Structure 1
Amino acid sequence: MTGTARSTLGSALRAIRKERRWSLAEASKHTGLAISTLSKIENGQRSLTYDKLIELAGSLQVDIARLFSGASDGSTASHALLGRRSVQRDGDGFTIEAGVYSYRYLAEDLINKRFSPIVMDLHARSVQAFDGLLRHAGEEFAFVIEGEVELHTELYAPLKLKAGESVYFDSNIGHAYLNAGDGPARILTIASSPIPNDNPLDLPVALPAQS
């Protein structure tokens, strides 16, 4: 992870904490994360996996995109849902190194997304490299871009996938992707994102016609 990516996550967390006038101890009470962990995140010494980022965003009651920007609420992040779009060029996106994975979050400038597209480079080659299987609300689709991948879950036998193959599953169950080949392994994952309000713009909802 580059220094810029590190400082962005840390700066975003620090900005939220300062806006709310929380000490690290107060932030720890709200998020459930240890003071030392929060300090390491703010100083770019600790990263979080996707499931932990979702938990952090939920505990702070912010959209996960806010964790990719040091800007304040109501800032440059795109709030409009109608007609919006986000274009990513090669190398664009917010990158987090989490040891077992390298995450590149796409369309990170948009909030209230229905799903989160992420390009992941897989480094772990055994489930022992994980601090427990990952899990988060929603469903997940993974497409293998490069290499060989082995998906471990709580319910099924390990599943091996090659470039061009894909899997769709319930991400509430514990899961982990492993690099199962000799070279690099890269996947595109699309994870559904819980949204606090299904009608965030308070748009009029069409009612069925009365007979």
Structure 2
Amino acid sequence: MGEKIRAARKAGGVTLLQLAERSGVSLASLSKAERGLIALSYEKFLAVSQALALDLTDLFHKPSGKGVRERMVVDRVNEAVIYKADRYLYGMLATEWPQKKMTPMYGKVEPGKPVNTADFSRHAGEEFIFVISGSLTMQFENGESRTLHAHDSIYFDSGLGHHYLCASADAVEILVVCVNESNEPGTALAEPRPWTPSNKSPNS
């Protein structure tokens, strides 16, 4: 994945420093990611893809050999593009559909705590999570948390910092759908909206 980021960056004539400034991802993290030393989280991948004027899944794209977009894309079992980072496994879905308005993913969260509990995930837009099996605790930076069990779901403003925590003995499996704030690839990542009681959602 680091090689894909480097190739896209060089193809656009963008230096590492420029990419760091545009994406908000530190120069050190980008350098390590390009060399395969660390795995970036979803929101950092999103920021990098937007800074490079790409659809997020361009970085995960499986060449189909087709010159035009189909009217539907089917992903079979075990065909997802898998990416691992820390306690997470992402299975990127519908990677052959360019310029998506939604980013659907299969996810697996392993037991354990975040490396840095103060480093919440946050990105512009909205997020939907459906628990397939196991139990998931969503912990938010405003101090609230919600524990979800199989077939429970949650929809929230993803600008509100959040952690995914496995609340079961074994890994929890989830379906995640993220919608970018702008729905336009290549636009700057919007600043997260500060959480206030007035924009609090019913499930947050």
TM over 0.5: yes
Question: In the alignment, which residue of structure 2 is the partner of 1:179?
Answer: 166
CA RMSD of aligned residues (A): 2.7
Q: Distance in 2 between matches of 1:18 and 1:56?
A: 13
The 1:124–1:174 alpha-carbon spacing in structure 2 relative to 1, beyond 3 Å, is farther
SS in 1 for 2:99: coil
Question: In the alignment, which residue of structure 2 is the partner of 1:84?
Answer: 71
Larger gyration radius, structure 1 or structure 2: 1
Question: In the alignment, which residue of structure 2 is the partner of 1:208?
Answer: none
Kindly provide the CA deviation profile for residues 11-45 of structure 1, in whole angstroms up to 9, marking residues without a partner as x.
32122122133444454454444444333222322
Aligned AA (1:46) = I
Kindly provide the CA deviation profile for residues 69-111 of structure 1, in whole angstroms up to 9, marking residues without a partner as x.
498xxx968774xx62111111112222110311111011222
Task: Give yes or no for contact 1:100–1:130 (8 Å, CA) kept in 2.
Answer: no
- Identify the range of structure 1 (122-131 vs 92-101) with the bigger mean alpha-carbon deviation: 122-131
TM-score where L is the length of structure 2? 0.77
Please say if 1:195 is aligned against 2:183.
yes
Which runs of 5 or more structure 2 residues have no equivalent in the other structure? 186-204
Question: In the alignment, which residue of structure 2 is the partner of 1:122?
Answer: 109
Aligned AA (1:16) = A
SS in 1 for 2:74: coil
Question: How big is the shift at 1:167?
Answer: 1.1
SS in 1 for 2:169: coil
Question: In the alignment, which residue of structure 2 is the partner of 1:57?
Answer: 49
Aligned AA (1:66) = D
Please say if 1:40 is aligned against 2:28.
no
Which runs of 5 or more structure 1 residues have no equivalent in the other structure? 1-8, 198-211
Question: In the alignment, which residue of structure 2 is the partner of 1:202?
Answer: none
The 1:159–1:22 alpha-carbon spacing in structure 2 relative to 1, beyond 3 Å, is closer
Kindly provide the CA deviation profile for residues 113-158 of structure 1, in whole angstroms up to 9, marking residues without a partner as x.
1111111111253356545111111111111111111111134632
Give % identity.
Answer: 30
TM-score where L is the length of structure 1? 0.75
Task: Give yes or no for contact 2:19–2:51 (8 Å, CA) kept in 1.
Answer: no
SS in 2 for 1:191: strand
Task: Give yes or no for contact 1:79–1:112 (8 Å, CA) kept in 2.
Answer: no
Q: Distance in 2 between matches of 1:15 and 1:78?
A: 21
